[in-house]
Amino acid sequence: KVQFNVVLTPEDDGIGYVVTSPDIQGLVTYGETREEALAMAVDAAEALLLCTLADGDEVPVSPGPTLEKIWPGHTVFELDGWM
Protein backbone atom coordinates (compact mmCIF):
# COMPACT_ATOMS: atom_id res chain seq x y z
CA LYS A 1 0.00 0.00 0.00
CA VAL A 2 1.31 3.44 -0.95
CA GLN A 3 0.06 6.71 0.53
CA PHE A 4 0.21 9.90 -1.50
CA ASN A 5 -1.22 13.39 -1.38
CA VAL A 6 -3.47 14.88 -4.02
CA VAL A 7 -4.77 18.40 -4.53
CA LEU A 8 -8.31 18.95 -5.83
CA THR A 9 -8.76 22.23 -7.67
CA PRO A 10 -12.37 23.18 -8.53
CA GLU A 11 -13.00 24.09 -12.14
CA ASP A 12 -13.82 27.75 -12.81
CA ASP A 13 -17.32 26.86 -13.99
CA GLY A 14 -18.01 25.01 -10.72
CA ILE A 15 -18.40 21.64 -12.42
CA GLY A 16 -15.67 19.16 -11.68
CA TYR A 17 -12.22 19.02 -10.16
CA VAL A 18 -8.73 18.79 -11.57
CA VAL A 19 -6.54 16.52 -9.47
CA THR A 20 -2.76 16.78 -9.21
CA SER A 21 -0.23 15.29 -6.83
CA PRO A 22 2.93 16.85 -5.46
CA ASP A 23 4.12 13.33 -4.65
CA ILE A 24 3.69 11.68 -8.06
CA GLN A 25 5.17 13.54 -11.00
CA GLY A 26 2.81 13.65 -13.97
CA LEU A 27 -0.38 12.81 -12.08
CA VAL A 28 -3.13 14.97 -13.52
CA THR A 29 -6.71 13.76 -13.80
CA TYR A 30 -10.29 15.00 -13.56
CA GLY A 31 -13.63 14.07 -12.06
CA GLU A 32 -17.04 15.72 -12.14
CA THR A 33 -17.54 15.07 -8.41
CA ARG A 34 -15.08 14.94 -5.53
CA GLU A 35 -15.66 11.21 -5.21
CA GLU A 36 -15.07 10.59 -8.91
CA ALA A 37 -11.99 12.83 -8.87
CA LEU A 38 -10.49 10.92 -5.94
CA ALA A 39 -11.22 7.55 -7.56
CA MET A 40 -9.62 8.75 -10.80
CA ALA A 41 -6.59 9.91 -8.80
CA VAL A 42 -6.11 6.44 -7.32
CA ASP A 43 -6.39 4.85 -10.79
CA ALA A 44 -3.95 7.34 -12.32
CA ALA A 45 -1.50 7.01 -9.43
CA GLU A 46 -1.47 3.23 -9.63
CA ALA A 47 -0.76 3.36 -13.37
CA LEU A 48 1.99 5.95 -12.98
CA LEU A 49 3.58 4.12 -10.04
CA LEU A 50 3.57 0.83 -11.94
CA CYS A 51 5.37 2.57 -14.81
CA THR A 52 7.84 4.05 -12.31
CA LEU A 53 8.60 0.60 -10.90
CA ALA A 54 8.85 -0.91 -14.39
CA ASP A 55 11.47 1.73 -15.25
CA GLY A 56 13.45 0.70 -12.16
CA ASP A 57 12.86 3.96 -10.31
CA GLU A 58 11.89 4.30 -6.65
CA VAL A 59 8.31 4.96 -5.59
CA PRO A 60 8.00 8.45 -4.05
CA VAL A 61 7.23 8.80 -0.35
CA SER A 62 4.59 11.25 0.87
CA PRO A 63 6.12 14.37 2.46
CA GLY A 64 3.43 14.56 5.15
CA PRO A 65 0.50 16.73 6.19
CA THR A 66 2.09 20.14 5.62
CA LEU A 67 0.60 20.41 2.13
CA GLU A 68 -2.43 22.43 3.21
CA LYS A 69 -0.07 25.35 3.84
CA ILE A 70 1.37 25.04 0.34
CA TRP A 71 -1.95 25.16 -1.50
CA PRO A 72 -4.27 27.51 0.38
CA GLY A 73 -7.81 27.39 -0.95
CA HIS A 74 -7.40 23.90 -2.39
CA THR A 75 -8.50 20.61 -0.92
CA VAL A 76 -5.65 18.28 0.00
CA PHE A 77 -6.22 14.55 0.55
CA GLU A 78 -3.99 11.67 1.47
CA LEU A 79 -5.05 8.61 -0.53
CA ASP A 80 -4.10 4.97 -0.34
CA GLY A 81 -3.26 3.09 -3.51
CA TRP A 82 -2.39 -0.56 -3.93
CA MET A 83 0.76 -1.77 -5.59
* Mean pLDDT, 10 residues at a time, the chain of 83 residues: 78 91 87 90 86 81 49 56 49
pLDDT at 2: 65
Please report how many Cα atoms fall inside a 13 Å half-sphere around the Cα of residue 35, on the Cβ side: 0
Instruction: Say if pTM beats, i.e. exceeds, 0.75.
Output: no
Largest Cα separation within the chain, whole Å, is 40
Ramachandran quadrant class, 66 (left: phi over 0; alpha: psi -120 to 50; beta: rest): alpha
pLDDT at 68: 44
